[in-house]
A and B are shown apart, each in its own frame.
Chain A
Amino acid sequence: MRRTCFETVLKLQKKNKKIIFVGSDLGPGFMKHSKDKVPERFFMEGVSEQAIVGMSAGLALEGYLPFVNTIATFLTRRCFEQIVIDLCHHDLPVKLIGNGGGLVYAPLGPTHQAIEDISILRTLPNMTILAPCDANEMRSLIPATLKWPHPIYIRLSRGDEPLITKKNHKFVIGKSVIIKRSEDFIFLSTGITSRIALNASKKLDQEYKVKSGVIHFPTIKPLDTQTLVRSIKKAKKIITVEENVLAGGFGSSVLEFCSDHLKEHLHKISRVGLKDAFVDDYGDQSSLLNKYGITEAKLVNKMLKLIKND
């Protein structure tokens, strides 16, 4: 997903002279092709996220389409006020690409784990939040951002995620994707948790004869409320899944929508995500997902328990 993201940016950058890449202090040789092919629109600006976001706002005010990239925590927490005022208040088409959204940087500890990026950015007017699930989706997502006139945050995962969308998958901002169709028992998921939800759903079908479905939400904001209304009304049980703290995250946005518009269905929804705590272990992304219960087995058990208690 990560490689596809930057390859696609470069491909578009060669054709579209408005596209500018702005990084902070990424690894040696990163985006070398961009630096070589379009040096006048490639910038590596050092560890100065506040200035980088402000500069990107200035570039966007002058008609450019900046893609700004660094580690997700520093691109969201460090320069939050620049995102609020410079990007969102001015409503500028700057695209923030956050490396390692969620638990990707597990071995590096809580300074590097972006587990609340979705929550904090969701509060911002004009902000769009995207969390694709695999490389196929990413390939289609980057071009779709070019005509979107608002700031966008793109949450990048690690890079070797198994593909769950088709090669010709067409990503549309604000539209969810039915990965596995079913009506009664539904997982609503985002980012790489859609793969976990898909595996759980298959297991429920195969081992427990429970027909379940998965709807993937690559756009967390604005929420695809049309699909939500349709699926929530029909479903018996719904589990939201995310690699983010539960406070204010994707599941919260579903609950908020339901509370405002589908109150009588609110009881159907349960959430799976990270608890209200800093991550207190190292390891890797999957070991931490396992530790915090964002796994195929936990999702299967949770759905079975919900059905049993009904």
Chain B
Amino acid sequence: MNKFLNKKALEIKLDDRSKYLRKLIVQALIGGGRGHMGSAMSLVEILRVLYDKFVKFDPKNLKKRNRDRLILSKGHGCLALYSILVDKKFFSKELLNNTSKTGSILGGHPEYSKVPGVEVSTGALGHGMPIAVGMSLAAKIKKEKHKIYVIVGDGEINEGSIWESALAASKHNLSNLKVFVDYNKIQSYGFTKEVVDLEPLIDKWKSFGFDVSEINGHDIKQLTKNLVEFKKNKKNKPSVTICHTIKGKGFYFAENNPYWHHKNSFSDEEIEELNNCLE
């Protein structure tokens, strides 16, 4: 058995920064009264490491030419994206309180025309990656040096368009493209193993011509090392990192629990526990 498929290997204690970013997600969940909780909590560290150390961005100049592009193809994980964008001062923390409510710029899926820092509207699965491939191709034609990062969900890669665009990325040797698979093993209906088993996932990406690596997606050191290697990489091919993660990470009642993929209401007890887990 792959060592990453062993849940124990993923039992990482969250540090204060990871807890803080999760508190922002909880603020949006409670404020909006709903949201894809589990899907957001699994990708916090991926976004944290990207924005803290690798993605070039400027909240005051959103269209800066040499910025890196980050596309959250699994748009339903947007509460994690909103949380890091608040942290990086793209917009104010107070906006989280009205997530998905009338008049809010923050919806249940991110919209590029409304949310500062969101490059592409996603939510319909299988769309972000082909767009990222187009952006990577554009950068290659223009000989621009910025990178394109795209995060896909494990359920999302059921979509044929992901693999169509993987073929294209490989054909064009898009070495400026980094794909992260948030492999939390649970999709909407239940465990990916039971809905559509993705294994052997590494072999699939390898056979599509990608440089493949596999890490614990909650481990800051592993994520950092993986991205340092990507930046140094001279291989003439696109790159994918399979991030083994835990759905609902940080909340004992939600971890690996398909019923916390999405919630459209919270009981008083659940709200209390959401807050308690981060103390």
Same complex: yes
A50 contacts B134, C-beta separation under 8 Å: no
Contact partner of B135 (CB less than 8 A), chosen from A43, A52, A62, is A62
Stretch at the interface among B120-128, B202-210, B224-232: B120-128
A45 CB to nearest chain B CB (Å): 6
In the bound complex, residues from chain B placing their C-beta under 8 Å from that of A41 are 141
Q: Choose one: B120, B126, B137, B160; the contact of A55 (CB below 8 Å).
A: B137
Within the complex, what minimum Cβ distance (angstroms) separates B235 from chain A?
22
B167 within 8 A of A: yes
Our pick among A40, A51, A89 for the contact of B164 (Cβ within 8 Å) is: A51
Q: Are A55 and B141 in contact (CB under 8 A)?
A: no
Q: Are B167 and A46 in contact, CB atoms less than 8 angstroms apart? A: yes
Which residues of the partner chain B approach A55 to less than 8 Å between Cβ atoms? 130-131, 133-134, 137, 165, 168
Chain B's interface size range is 20 to 34
Instruction: Check A48–B167 contact: CB distance below 8 A.
Output: yes
Q: Which of A60, A62, A89 has the most CB of B within 10 A?
A: A62
Contact with B along A28-64 (1 / 0, CB 8 A): 0000000000001101011010111111111111111
Q: B146-165 interface mask toward A, CB cutoff 8 Å, 1 = contact, 0 = none?
A: 00000000000000110011
The majority secondary structure among interface residues of chain A is: helix
Interface of B is mostly: helix
Does residue A85 face the partner (Cβ distance < 8 Å to B)? yes
Is A180 part of the contact surface with B, judged by Cβ < 8 Å?
A: no
Docked Cα-Cα span, A43 to B133, in Å, equals: 13
**8 Å CB contact of B138 from A45, A46, A58, A89:** A58
Min CB gap A277→B, angstroms: 30
In the bound complex, what is the Cα–Cα distance between A45 and B120 (angstroms)? 22
Which of A49-84 touch B at CB < 8 Å? 50-64, 81-82
Tell whether A302 is near chain B: CB-to-CB under 8 Å. no
- In the assembly, what is the distance between CA of A288 and CA of B120, in Å? 43
B252 contacts A by Cβ under 8 Å: no
A90 to B135, CA, bound (A): 14
In the bound complex, do residue B131 and residue A50 qualify as a contact, i.e. CB atoms below 8 Å apart?
no
Given A55-B165, A82-B130: A63 and B120 interface contact (C-beta under 8 Å): no
Contact B164 A59 (CB under 8 A): no
Does any Cβ of B come within 8 Å of A134's Cβ?
Answer: no
Whole-angstrom CA separation of A254 from B147 in the bound complex:
48
Contact in complex: B120, A82 (CB < 8 Å):
no
B85 in the interface (beta carbon within 8 A)? no
User: Quick one: given A40-B141, A59-B134, A61-B134, are A54 and B165 in contact (CB under 8 Å)?
Assistant: yes
Q: Is B112 an interface residue (CB 8 A)?
A: yes
Closest to B128 in A: A54
Residues on B with C-beta less than 8 A from A82 are: 127, 130, 161
The answer to whether B165 and A62 have CB atoms under 8 Å apart is no
- Bound-complex Cα distance A204 to B158 (A): 58
Chain A residues whose CB sits within 8 angstroms of the CB of B167 once the complex forms: 46, 48, 51
* Residue B139 at the chain A interface, CB threshold 8 Å: yes
A40: chain B residues within 8 A (beta carbon): 141
Which of B112, B142, B165: most chain A Cβ within 10 A? B165
The residue in A45, A58, A64, A90 that gathers the most chain B C-beta atoms within 10 A of its C-beta is A58
B112 touches A50 (CB 8 A): no
Once the chains are docked, how many angstroms separate the CA of A279 from the CA of B119?
43
The docked-state distance in angstroms from the alpha carbon of A63 to that of B144 is 13
Complex Cα distance, B167 from A52, in Å, reads 11
Among B124, B129, B142, the residue within 8 A (CB) of A85 is B124
12 contacts across the A-B interface (CB closer than 8 A): A50-B160, A51-B165, A51-B167, A54-B127, A54-B161, A54-B165, A55-B131, A55-B165, A58-B136, A61-B135, A62-B139, A86-B130
Interface positions of A (Cβ within 8 A of B): 40-41, 43, 45-46, 48, 50-64, 81-82, 85-86, 89-90
Q: Which residues of B contact A (CB under 8 A)?
A: 112-113, 119-121, 124, 126-127, 129-139, 141-142, 160-161, 164-165, 167-168, 171
